[in-house]
């Protein structure tokens, strides 16, 4: 059975938590697409060759969430051939037998417009900044400014801007518990898959 769940949304909205929970509930494979560029950057060498040769094992490295991996990701993400190779990787992952959940920023609009279920997970900038601040600490006002700046950059970029797919279910987690948000997402999948 091929069944794709596309979950998009801005940083710290809860899409990663929801995606992992939905994948676990249904026994689907899960792909955090944000790790792809980090994995390519962390592999080093020629970034195009690294992207073209990327495997799922490359996504299990324990250094992908480091600052260095993030900086490497931002350098390779601007290379069109890297992006093209990673689009192929994501589309193949999405249409695998057994079902898949992909979370990112352009899954429902660019990567998998044919996904059976599309969710757009969001929350107010203030709520997302508070969540991020609880994770990383620092000055909460500065974290809010960074969240707002990233939202603007993601929404205004020329290639694959952050926006919900026309047929995506909007899931605003501002006032929801994690359990409530996961339950809503599972119900959305059940409504289509049965």
DSSP designation for 108: I
Instruction: Report helix, strand or coil for 175.
Output: coil
Q: Is 9 annotated as a binding residue?
A: yes
Backbone angles phi, psi at 90, to 5 degrees: -65, -40
Pairs from 55-61 (Cβ < 8 Å, separation ≥ 24): 56/93, 59/31, 59/32, 59/35
Q: Is 17 annotated as a binding residue?
A: yes
Please give the helix or strand (H or E) that residue 187 lies within, else none. Answer: helix 178-193
Q: Is 15 annotated as a binding residue?
A: yes
Q: Is 113 annotated as a binding residue?
A: no
Q: Is 84 annotated as a binding residue?
A: no
Q: Is 45 annotated as a binding residue?
A: no
Q: Is 166 annotated as a binding residue?
A: no
Residue stretches of the annotated binding site: 9-17
Residue stretches of the annotated binding site for ATP: 9-17
């Amino acid at each position: 059975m091929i069944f794709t769940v596309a979950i998009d949304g801005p940083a710290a909205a809860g899409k990663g938590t929801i995606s992992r929970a939905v994948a676990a509930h249904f026994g689907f494979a899960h792909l955090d697409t944000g790790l792809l560029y980090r994995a390519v950057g962390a592999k080093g060498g020629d970034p195009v060759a690294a992207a073209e040769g990327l495997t799922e094992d490359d996504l299990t490295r324990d250094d992908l969430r480091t600052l260095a991996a993030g900086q490497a990701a931002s350098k390779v993400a601007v290379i069109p051939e890297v992006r093209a190779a990673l689009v192929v990787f994501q589309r193949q992952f999405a249409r695998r037998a057994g079902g898949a959940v992909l979370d990112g920023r352009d899954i429902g609009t660019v990567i998998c417009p044919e996904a059976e279920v599309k969710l757009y997970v969001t929350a107010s900038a203030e709520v997302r900044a508070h969540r991020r601040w609880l994770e990383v600490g620092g000055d909460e006002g500065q974290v809010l400014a960074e969240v707002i700046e990233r939202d603007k950059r993601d929404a205004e970029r020329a290639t694959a801007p952050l926006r919900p797919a026309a047929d995506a279910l909007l899931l605003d987690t501002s006032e929801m518990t994690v359990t409530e948000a996961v339950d809503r997402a599972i119900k959305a999948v059940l409504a289509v898959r049965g």
